[in-house]
Amino acid sequence: MKITIVNGSPRKGNTVAAINALISGLNNHEVELIDADKVNISPCRGCGVCECYKGCVAQDDSNAVIDILVASDMIIFASPVYWWGITAQIKKLIDKCYCKGALLKGKKIGLIIVGGASTDNEQYDLIGRQFNCISEYLNWDIVFYNKYSASAANELAGNTDAMNDLKSLAESI
């Protein structure tokens, strides 16, 4: 499969550690990583010119990034929890999915969410419910939703159970 991983964290921390552990087991797939914090994507202005298939009028990285998602069999969204939700960086990119929404239907989806709070916190349900709604709209199939609790930037990398969990997850894909 062509798998694209979208990293929503602006720092080299827990989300990156989770992504790296996952990638180390994804040897049988073509993997591309998009750093939502590094690409130049302006917020969606709701102009409607795209008509949900023509692409975005913005003269930035929006179309190039969305075209990578369109060409993918599976998209893995990996984000820290910021204020009970996903980060603004990854949300901005998801908003731009609108510009080619008609071409983004039927993807396999994976979710990796890392928050400081324990994994029974309501925030993981809120984020899961948001992706369930998006998936219903775009006919996406959420294949996995892995949640981890870590705060300091190097914490998750030192969590052997989490690292092993991610490697086994990669093998199951």
Ligand X SMILES: Cc1cc2nc3c(=O)[nH]c(=O)nc-3n(C[C@H](O)[C@H](O)[C@H](O)COP(=O)(O)O)c2cc1C
Nearest distance from C-beta of residue 70 to ligand X, angstroms:
26
Counting contacts by CB under 6 A, is residue 114 touching ligand X?
yes
Rounded Cα gap, residues 91 and 86, in angstroms: 7
* Among 8-16, 66-74, 91-99, 103-111, the segment contacting ligand X (CB under 6 A): 8-16
Whichever of 86 and 97 has its CB closer to ligand X, that residue is: 86
Give 15 or 72: the residue with its C-beta nearer to ligand X.
15
Q: Which is nearer to ligand X, 10 or 101 (CB)?
A: 10
Residues 80-109 that bind ligand X (CB under 6 A): 80-84
Q: Comparing C-alpha atoms, which of 14, 12, 23 is closest to residue 155?
A: 14
Strand arrangement of the beta sheet that strand 141-149 belongs to: 30-35, 2-7, 74-80, 108-115, 141-149
Name 30's Cβ contacts closer than 8 Å, sequence gap at least 6. Answer: 1, 2, 3
